[in-house]
Amino acid sequence: MKLKLTLLSALIFTGGLVKAQDSLMIRKIYDEELVNGKSYENLRYLCKSIGQRLSGSANAQKAVDWSKKLMESYGFDKVYLQPCMVPHWVRGAKEEGAIIKGNKKISVHIAALGMSVATPKNGLTAPVIELHSLKELATLGKDAIKGKIVFFNRPFDERFIETLRAYGAAGDQRFAGPAAAAKYGAVGVIVRSLTGRQDDYPHTGTTAYLKDSLNIPAAAISTNDANKLSAMLKMRSLPHVKFYFKQNCMHLPDAPSFNVVGELRGTENPNKYITVGGHLDSWDLAEGAHDDGTGVIGSLEAVRLLKVMGYKPKNSIRAVFFMNEENGDRGGEKYADLAAENKEEHIAAIESDLGGFTPRGFSFQGVSPSLLNKINNNWGPLLAPYGSGMLVAGGGGSDIGPLAGKVKGVVLIGYLPDSQRYFDVHHTPDDVFENVSKRELELGAASMASLIYLIDQHGIN
């Protein structure tokens, strides 16, 4: 009995020591970032001096070159590029435009969806049919749809507390709407922008054609203009409203590009990896500040923080700037392929691609309820004082997703910032550096560094 008690005390004591040491390290990580952080100035450069960086563009290459140099300047053990071929879609040189043709002509704001085909050279004019779901295509049938422009106008459901869920619930209109409408004979598709905000920005984003569907031109329309169009379609005095739009986008041959990888070598297990990353590419209309400048810069900052604090990781830690998340995920696929090819062991991968807002926590993909419970018990109290204690089941992200199928035992983790403002700016020209808060970005970087530290010290199983 006495021995047992002593053992128990020793265990508690050791546990207490570990917790205190972890707590101290995390406090130091935050202090370092909040006082000496480089993330905000790095993000400024990426957004303001490079700017938009769609896969295959000259700017994407500039971003790759700059990122590599930046990582090298931090003295990481290894900095290198992972070549991958990426789709090369361009919006085209000429201006896009759209007009509602009712009793008068009303110009509206559109932007071609990423990967869409162009309209005919002089634009496309057709009657419009407003739908709120893909299912309605089948309900209405080919006779109702044929020769028309399908206008998908289901708004964000504002009742979701996390906006990502509203995005998910409305997203099929953009991802799959054009291909589905084509099957019913539609000649074009206009999609209400995927945002809850009422404004004049069209929100672009990728759409997916299917092999067996016609490729019809598809564009996003701003929410304000979607409301206008919908109102006009409901006016009995205007039975013949037509819609005109013109876009010049095209697919060029696949182009060479790269993931950028910076690595701290593990002192105990150099072939075991903890990855943290975001995607370096952005849509062509935006600076890609929140999507996903904050993700790459925050990820890099997390690794830089550990390095600059003199931390010697047990396992190798990698900051990865993935290429081509927006319209192909080729970088993510390549990273996973190489990991498998090189027989790397991956402990965990963290992805930051939900904006650079105040951190709330992390989502863990496919972990058992008991492991999630353990993570919460052990790490929740360490992260909660910094607002990052929400440790929940959920997705990892598009870039790290392919690892799951190709590398055994990796835990995929999504960084969860506050979600309220993300879809205000997502995929629009308003996604600019000025809309990022320095402190929110820094807190995010520090929260990721803290989680990497905990995983490196204690594993995750």
Among 424, 430, 431, 456, binds a copy of itself (CB under 8 A): 424
| Alpha carbons 17 and 168: distance in angstroms, whole number | 43
- Identity of the residue, 272 or 360, whose beta carbon is nearer to a copy of itself in the bound complex: 360
If one asks whether residue 41 binds a copy of itself (CB under 8 A), the answer comes out as no
The secondary structure of 124-183 as a DSSP string is EEEEEEEESSSHHHHHH-HHHHTTSEEEE-PPP-TT-SSHHHHHHHHTHHHHTHHHHHHH
The minimum distance between CB 230 and a copy of itself, in angstroms, equals: 17
If one asks whether residue 386 binds a copy of itself (CB under 8 A), the answer comes out as yes
If one asks whether residue 92 binds a copy of itself (CB under 8 A), the answer comes out as no
Whether the link from the prior residue into 143 is cis, omega within 30° of 0, is no
Cβ atoms within 10 A of the Cβ of 341, count?
Answer: 9
Q: Which two tokens stand for residue 344?
A: 């790397």
Among positions 387-416, residues that touch a copy of itself (CB under 8 A) are: 387
- Identity of the residue, 213 or 420, whose beta carbon is nearer to a copy of itself in the bound complex: 420
Distance (Å) of CA 126 to CA 123, 140, 187, 252 = 10, 18, 8, 28
Among 196, 217, 298, 414, binds a copy of itself (CB under 8 A): 196
| Alpha carbons 433 and 425: distance in angstroms, whole number | 11
Among positions 296-315, residues that touch a copy of itself (CB under 8 A) are: none
| Alpha carbons 208 and 148: distance in angstroms, whole number | 20
Among 381, 385, 409, 459, binds a copy of itself (CB under 8 A): 385
- Identity of the residue, 53 or 197, whose beta carbon is nearer to a copy of itself in the bound complex: 197
Q: Which residues contact 55 (CB under 8 A, 6 or more apart)?
A: 86, 87, 88, 89, 255, 257, 281, 323, 324, 326, 327, 328, 330
- Identity of the residue, 145 or 449, whose beta carbon is nearer to a copy of itself in the bound complex: 449
If one asks whether residue 439 binds a copy of itself (CB under 8 A), the answer comes out as yes
- Identity of the residue, 84 or 382, whose beta carbon is nearer to a copy of itself in the bound complex: 382
Among 39, 57, 163, 352, binds a copy of itself (CB under 8 A): 163
Which of 325, 333, 351, 442 is catalytic? The answer is 325
Among 230, 248, 269, 437, binds a copy of itself (CB under 8 A): 437
Strands, sheet with 124-131, edge to edge from the N-terminal-most edge strand: 105-108, 97-101, 242-246, 124-131, 149-152, 188-192, 218-221, 110-112
Q: Is 59 exposed, middle or buried (0-12, 13-18, 19+ CB in 10 A)?
A: middle
If one asks whether residue 200 binds a copy of itself (CB under 8 A), the answer comes out as no
The minimum distance between CB 449 and a copy of itself, in angstroms, equals: 15
If one asks whether residue 438 binds a copy of itself (CB under 8 A), the answer comes out as yes
162 belongs to the catalytic site: no
Cβ atoms within 10 A of the Cβ of 24, count?
Answer: 10
The secondary structure of 442-459 as a DSSP string is HHHHHHHHHHHHHHHHH-
If one asks whether residue 434 binds a copy of itself (CB under 8 A), the answer comes out as no
The minimum distance between CB 312 and a copy of itself, in angstroms, equals: 24
x-or-dash pattern for a copy of itself, window 343-372, by CB under 8 A?
Answer: ---------------x-x------------
Instruction: Estimate the crossing angle of helix 58-73 against helix 294-308, to 10 degrees.
Output: 10
| Residue positions annotated with a catalytic role | 325
Summarize as ranges the residues that interact with a copy of itself (CB under 8 A): 30-31, 34-35, 158-159, 161, 163, 196-197, 358, 360, 385-387, 418, 420-421, 424, 437-440, 443
